[in-house]
Amino acid sequence: MDILFNNPQLYVIDYPGHDALEILDKRNGRVGLLRGATADRLREEFREFLTKTHDDEEYADFLDSHDAILEHPVSLH
C-alpha cells in the first residue's frame, strides 16, 4: 500500500500488488476503488494533476470530475 496523496479534502492510496487505486473524498465521506485499466488511467491523471500546485477549489473540481466513481460511503469497521 502506497499513500499517493493526503490533504484535508482528498486521500489517494495505491495498491500496486493488487493493481488497484482507492480514492477517498473527505468532504463527503465517499470512497471509490478502481482496478485494472481504469485504475491505471486515473493514476496517470492524478500524477499529472499533482505536477502543479492547486488551491482548494481546484482539488474540489478534480474530485467532482470523478464523482461517479466515488459511490460508496465510508464506514468504520
Reported as a single tens digit per residue, the pLDDT across 58-68 is 878 887 787 77
Per DSSP, the three-state class of 31 is strand
Report pLDDT for 14. Answer: 92
User: How far is the CA of 46 from the CAs of 11, 60, 75, 76, in angstroms?
Assistant: 11, 13, 24, 26
- Structural domain harbouring 15: 2-73
Separation CA 47–CA 3 (nearest Å): 12
- Domain count within the chain: 1
Q: Would you tell me how many other CB atoms lie within 10 Å of the CB of residue 24?
A: 21
pLDDT digits (tens, 9 = 90+) for 5-39: 898 888 889 998 898 999 888 888 888 888 999 88
